[in-house]
Amino acid sequence: MDFLRETRLVKAAMAPFKKSVVRDVMPVLPKVICDERRQVYYTVGDFLGKGGFAACYKVVDADGHTFASKIVNKQLLKNKNEAQKLSQEIRIHKCLQHEHVVKMYFAFEDANNVYMMLELCSRRSLMELQKRRHAITEPEARYFIRQTVLACDYLHRLNIIHRDIKLGNLFLTENMVLKVGDFGLATNITEGLHDKKWVCGTPNYIAPEVLNKRLHSVKVDIWAIGCVMYVLLVGTPPFETDNLDETYRRICNNKYKIPFELSIDAIDLIKAMLSAMPTERPDTMTILKSPFMNGFTPARLPTSCLTTKPTFA
């Protein structure tokens, strides 16, 4: 199947979907992969990680240019819905160009796999950072939240909702610049009203209007950024319990506690982003102008902060 050409012909109307359950996604992979159309060969290097759908490897071309190649085994695309999802991910992601969005350069396929050629984020994601550090300092959180909000500001202006903002999708480059990645659940709201029944994302980050099957908007990303900010400053997600039904009940009842140790400005911003009513959540510009976001923000972070609390002069 010529996946990229075939799926371009499929009407882009998105069927309701859930993110794929984790299964064996490891692609059949030779040591060298070939983009036949461009006549470029890539040497496959280190394994970078795998998600529900794709595995990611570092690859290098003959000129020494390095990429992260997100690789999807075509066996997983036999289902038309999965093929449409991947087609939608590529179509949306390929058009994006922003300092804080992982760049997708191009995509190609061979007999076995589809390859998405991405900007390499060698410092992994905020998920690994948070696992090691637990709660981080407010200046660090401000640094990461600011870059996430700038990326979402760009996406929302293009009428794109990411719909899966979470620590594991906030990648870090070699120089500790944050890049929003994984557009597997993203949608363009100008392409038609998305499905009311759609439920997505990581449970703790699902907005109440999604759980309640109401129409959702860019404000689901703001809710998720509120969850990310909470996890970064508190060390645990706001609605986490060991029972999924109870977690969902708490999300719907807006039941969470913010520890007193946080600054008033941080508490105010988290509360605003976690407003039960989407219309009461701030938009990206309002977040950027909030008192919390105007506190001291380091221009860059040392890589040592992946494991250790930094000291700010």
Active site residues: 164
If one asks whether residue 45 binds ligand ADP (CB under 6 A), the answer comes out as no
- Per DSSP, 101 falls in state B
Q: Does 251 bind ligand ADP (CB under 6 A)?
A: no
Rounded Cα distance between 117 and 113, Å, is: 13
Q: Of the candidates 3, 71, 90, 184, which one interacts with ligand ADP according to CB under 6 A?
A: 184
CB nearer to ligand ADP: give 42 or 256: 42
Tell whether the torsion through CA atoms of 238, 243, 247 and 253 is positive or negative.
Answer: negative
Interface residue with ligand ADP among 33, 54, 151, 206 (CB under 6 A) is 54
Select 56 or 92, whichever has its Cβ closest to ligand ADP. Answer: 56
- DSSP E strands in 74-193: the ranges are 104-109, 113-118, 160-161, 170-172, 178-180, 187-188
Q: Which of 3, 42, 108, 171 binds ligand ADP (CB under 6 A)?
A: 171
Nearer to ligand ADP, 86 or 225 (CB): 86
Least distance from ligand ADP to the Cβ atom of residue 98, Å: 14
* Closest to 147 in 3D by CA, of 102, 86, 194: 102
Sequence-separated (6 or more) residues with CB below 8 Å from residue 178:
100, 126, 143, 144, 147, 148, 151, 170, 171, 172
Using CB under 6 A, which of the segments 153-161, 177-185, 273-281, 287-295 binds ligand ADP?
177-185
C-alpha span between 290 and 271 (Å, rounded): 12
Specify the stretch interacting with ligand ADP by CB under 6 A; choose among 48-56, 197-205, 220-228, 264-272.
48-56
Query: Interface with ligand ADP by CB under 6 A: which range of 52-60, 134-142, 199-207, 303-311?
Result: 52-60
Does 53 bind ligand ADP (CB under 6 A)? Our answer is yes
Residues that contact ligand ADP, how many (by CB under 6 A):
20
Helices 219-234 and 264-273 sit at what angle, rounded to 10 degrees?
A: 140
C-beta of residue 183 within 8 angstroms of C-beta of residue 93: yes
From the CB of residue 188, how many other CB atoms can be counted at a distance below 10 Å?
18
Q: Which of 118, 186, 232, 270 binds ligand ADP (CB under 6 A)?
A: 118
Which positions lie near ligand ADP, rule CB under 6 A? 48-54, 56, 68, 70, 102, 118-121, 168, 171, 181-182, 184
